[in-house]
Structure 1
Amino acid sequence: MNEPLYVVAAVIRGDDGRILLAQRPSNKHQGGKWEFPGGKLEVGETPLQALGRELHEELGITPLQAQPLIKVRYTYPERSVLLDVWEVTAFEGIPHGCEGQPVAWFTAAQLPTLEFPAANAPIVTAALLPAQYLITPEPEDFSAFLLRLETCLQAGVRLVQFRAKSLDSSAYLALAQDVIALTHAYQGKVIVNAPPLAIAAADGVHLTSRQLQQPSDDILKLRLPGQWLSAACHNAQELVQAATLGVDFALLAPVLPTATHPNAPTLGWDAFQELADAVNFPVYALGGLNVADLAIARRHGGQGIAAIRGLWGVV
């Protein structure tokens, strides 16, 4: 089998948070669809060098700040591609279609309404997901819980997994509605952790590793149209199962020792990267991490870091 075509691409963010896209010429492969700018890796180039060259040739800009975002492998009937995607948050120059191609800025909310090449679907998800993923601790005093959640949101958290295994269905639903309303007020998203009932206002449903291994129709039906599906994974087999179920993203743990399980076996960053690079969806690093670990998580193929203690008690 031929080696896949190695392509670098960029999620380019403006100062206002919008994302720059280009439209493929109608006479090219996947013509007429929107795409994240980039192009083929040339012989002797590093991915970052190729990204700089392509963005200069296509858009007339020079990236000043860029970090890895996601790698996606995809096989079209015509060819196989490896998309090495970087997030560009600062650049020099005024972007324009140097090759005559239409370019435009879009808000994050507009991305799901656009037509992309099929290989770009995980990139759209990665572009929508933040780098920090807060998993809530068990709530005791509901008022104090919501006050602490608001502190985290004020500090910049924009993705929250509402995890409350100690609550019955009625209490979970009642507190979930408050969590969702508060998080949405800060333009954040809430993933509900495998609740016993569907919650229409939530932005996604999370499967535990046990539910991932024995998925039932009842659990999967809790995901309503338009909601994300995520899963907790600990090894390659669970990531494969997550892919089979069509998750949008996953958590992979434990990367480092945790305060609650200091002697448990851990993956370490090299194994995390190997596992994350093998799947075509964003993967958060989980286990013993905090905001100081964001950069290393991104360098090792992670979407970012997920944490309970490391975000709830620190940010």
Structure 2
Amino acid sequence: MEKNPTYLFVTAAALIDKNGRVLLQKRPEGKPMAGLWEFPGGKVEAGETPEAALVRELKEELGINVQEPDIAPVAFASEALEEQHLVLLLYICRKWAGHVESPESLDLLWLSVDAIHDLPMPPADGPLVDMLSSVLRDSA
């Protein structure tokens, strides 16, 4: 009988600017999957909703203020990791207060959703790009 996996819930945001570009950040050296590009976000802490976690992470990582009503779930990915099972929840956000910057000096890129396909990304993020592309195309 297989051991029950421990789940790791992570939220991520497809921040979309006025020009329809999506923000990606590069994973820093010293962290797993360093150098790969990903949607900003982070782990859901105990007692937090995914939405509250995303609002907190965007403030910590990018210095912006996002309100929960301004994020909408768009897709999720599920990926087996070594010790845990990752569930990555992707939200779209088109409205925030403040200037996007990285206090941790992470590399940031604003790209069209089509250009994102050319970047090296963690395994769970890749399928989300296809889903995001489909959603953005359907809403255009």
Return the TM-score normalized by structure 1. Answer: 0.41
Which residue number in structure 2 is paired with residue 286 of structure 1?
A: none
Structure 2 distance, partners of 1:74, 1:31, is 18
Structure 2 distance, partners of 1:125, 1:41, is 24
SS in 1 for 2:101: coil
Q: Please state if 1:31 is matched with 2:34.
A: yes
Which structure 1 segments of 5+ residues have no match?
A: 134-156, 159-315
SS in 2 for 1:129: helix
Q: Does the aligned pair in 1 maintain the 2:6–2:83 contact within 8 Å?
A: no
Q: Which sits farther off after the overlay, 109-118 or 95-104?
A: 95-104
Correspondence for 1:8 among 7, 11, 18: 11
Which residue number in structure 1 is paired with residue 81 of structure 2?
A: 76
SS in 1 for 2:24: strand
Structure 2 distance, partners of 1:77, 1:41, is 19
Structure 2 distance, partners of 1:85, 1:71, is 6
Structure 1 distance, partners of 2:84, 2:101, is 29
In structure 2, what residue type is equivalent to 1:10? A
Which structure 2 segments of 5+ residues have no match?
A: none
Structure 2 distance, partners of 1:78, 1:97, is 29
Q: Please state if 1:86 is matched with 2:127.
A: no
In the TM superposition, what are the counterparts of 1:129-208 in structure 2 within 5 Å? 129-130=134-135, 133=138
String of CA shifts for 1:294-313, please: whole Å, max 9, x gaps: xxxxxxxxxxxxxxxxxxxx
Structure 2 distance, partners of 1:32, 1:131, is 26
Which residue number in structure 1 is paired with residue 43 of structure 2?
A: 40
The structure number with the bigger radius of gyration is 1
Q: 1:132 to 1:105 in 2, by over 3 A?
A: closer
How big is the shift at 1:132? 7.2
In structure 2, what residue type is equivalent to 1:115? P
String of CA shifts for 1:219-262, please: whole Å, max 9, x gaps: xxxxxxxxxxxxxxxxxxxxxxxxxxxxxxxxxxxxxxxxxxxx
In structure 2, what residue type is equivalent to 1:66? I
Structure 1 distance, partners of 2:25, 2:87, is 19
How big is the shift at 1:79? 3.5
Correspondence for 1:102 among 99, 107, 110: 107
Structure 2 distance, partners of 1:79, 1:118, is 15
In structure 1, what residue type is equivalent to 2:47? G
In structure 2, what residue type is equivalent to 1:40? K
In structure 2, what residue type is equivalent to 1:121? G
Which residue number in structure 1 is paired with residue 133 of structure 2?
A: 128
String of CA shifts for 1:192-244, please: whole Å, max 9, x gaps: xxxxxxxxxxxxxxxxxxxxxxxxxxxxxxxxxxxxxxxxxxxxxxxxxxxxx
Structure 1 distance, partners of 2:120, 2:61, is 20
Which residue number in structure 2 is paired with residue 229 of structure 1?
A: none
SS in 1 for 2:95: strand
| Superposition misfits of 4+ residues, deviation over 3 angstroms | none
How big is the shift at 1:119? 0.8
How big is the shift at 1:131? 5.8
- Alignment RMSD: 1.7
Which residue number in structure 2 is paired with residue 113 of structure 1?
A: 118
Q: 1:102 to 1:70 in 2, by over 3 A?
A: same
